């Protein structure tokens, strides 16, 4: 009789535990370790990514290990970080690639080690990542071009400040802006200079752009470093508001420049959602669930006209530090 009831109890436990699930027994009863490797760690964009990743880990039962290079141009440093995580046998890798081609062998190495890869923000030229969680950067840059064109009345000379040549995100924003601005026959793109995601490089790029093109009517700065640098340069020359500036991202310094009138519009991503959805996708892959190959986290054009809208404030201040 004891054997009978023992067998019943075992059967019940097997049913409750879902032994037919795809997730392996080695991961079912322990906290998953997800390595999250951003392109950089100093900009506020990446801090929002980290906040989203941490919240997803808490919600879905995982721990994230956060580490990235200090500079977005440090491709070799990012490769070393990822290789170290591979050697640690993390359960999954969520990464934003510093370079879309140079990181391919490293992604292949993770795949060979049985570690699923999710890319966020900046992808790689490979089919290995299970999902790419990011802004549609081409569409966002096209919106930036339309916004800038409207600000300058559809005519005049403009400049473009991408960040790192070879980084997928930078390439796509450059492509999208160029294609859209070319539709305006009265507008001429006269300068393309890179900021290297560095504020002082952004200042220098803007100074050089203005010196070579004194009739410049507008600038599109494709990320935080270039935008903050461009705003500083315009203020130093007392051109804030005269040379129209449209910028990607929404760092606090960019928001302050928007309120001041040096920046006229921000093309705002949702970095919090990138971190959250990236970690969520990684956990779903580990647990045998299907994930979409592409997750678009969207963009919002923010001006002082819609700045105080609750939905906009939620995007600008994902952790709740709003200014309503």
Structural domains in the chain (count): 2
- Residues of the domain holding 97: 25-135+271-297
192 exposure class (CB count in 10 Å sphere: 0-12, 13-18, 19+): middle
Find the angle CA(63)-CA(68)-CA(72) to the nearest 5 degrees: 145
Same domain, 161 and 171: yes
The answer to whether residues 108 and 179 belong to one domain is: no
What is the domain-level CATH number for residue 184? 3.40.50.2300
CB 147 within 8 A of CB 111: no
Residue 225 lies in a domain: yes
| 14 within a domain of the structure (yes/no) | no
287 is a domain residue: yes
Examine the domain organization and report whether 163 and 232 are in the same domain: yes
255, 308 Cβ separation under 8 angstroms: no
Read off φ and ψ for residue 221, nearest 5 degrees.
-100, 120
Per-residue model confidence as pLDDT tens for the chain (324 residues):
544 454 444 444 444 444 433 455 455 557 899 999 999 998 888 989 999 999 999 999 999 999 999 999 999 999 999 999 999 999 999 999 999 999 999 999 999 999 999 999 999 999 999 999 999 999 999 999 999 999 999 999 999 999 999 888 899 999 999 999 999 999 999 999 999 999 999 999 999 999 999 999 999 999 999 999 999 999 999 999 999 999 999 999 999 999 999 999 999 999 999 999 999 999 999 999 999 999 999 999 999 999 999 999 988 987 665 554
Distance CA 192, CA 175 (A): 12
Q: Do the domain assignments include residue 308?
A: no
Residues 145, 235: one domain?
yes
260 and 293 inside one domain: no
Query: In this structure, what are the phi and psi dihedrals at residue 238, rounded to the nearest 5 degrees?
Result: 60, 40
Q: How far apart are CA 182 and CA 39, in angstroms?
A: 30
CA 316 to chain CA mean position, Å: 14
Same structural domain for residues 155 and 210? yes
**Dist. CA 121–CA 135, nearest whole Å:** 7
């Amino acid at each position: 009789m004891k054997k009978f009831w023992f067998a019943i109890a075992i059967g019940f436990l097997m049913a409750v535990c879902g032994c037919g699930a795809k997730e392996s027994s080695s991961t079912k009863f322990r906290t998953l370790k997800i390595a999250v490797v951003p392109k950089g760690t100093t900009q506020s964009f990446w801090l929002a990514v980290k906040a989203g990743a941490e919240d997803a880990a808490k919600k879905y039962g995982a721990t994230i290990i956060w580490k990235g290079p200090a500079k977005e141009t440090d491709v070799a440093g990012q490769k070393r970080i990822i290789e170290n995580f591979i050697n640690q046998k993390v359960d999954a890798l969520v990464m934003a690639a510093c370079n879309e081609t140079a990181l391919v062998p490293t992604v292949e190495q993770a795949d060979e080690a049985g570690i699923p890869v999710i890319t966020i923000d900046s992808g790689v030229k490979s089919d290995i990542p299970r999902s790419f969680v990011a802004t549609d950067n081409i569409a966002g840059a096209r919106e930036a071009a339309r916004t800038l064109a409207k600000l300058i009345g559809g005519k005049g000379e403009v400049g473009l400040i991408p960040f790192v040549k070879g980084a997928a995100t930078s390439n796509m924003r450059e492509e999208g802006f160029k294609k859209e601005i070319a539709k305006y026959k009265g507008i001429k793109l006269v300068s393309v200079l890179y900021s290297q995601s560095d504020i002082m490089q952004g200042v220098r790029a803007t100074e050089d752009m203005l010196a070579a093109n004194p009739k410049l009517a507008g600038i599109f700065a494709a990320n935080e470093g270039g935008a903050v640098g461009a705003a500083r340069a315009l203020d130093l020359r007392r051109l804030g508001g005269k040379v129209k500036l449209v910028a990607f991202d929404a760092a606090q310094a960019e928001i302050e420049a928007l309120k001041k009138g040096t920046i006229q519009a921000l093309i705002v991503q949702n970095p919090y959602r990138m971190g959250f959805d990236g970690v969520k996708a990684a956990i779903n892959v580990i647990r045998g669930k299907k994930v979409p190959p592409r997750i678009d986290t969207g963009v919002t054009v923010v001006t002082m006209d819609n700045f105080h809208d609750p939905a906009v404030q939620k995007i600008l201040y994902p952790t709740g530090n709003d200014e309503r």
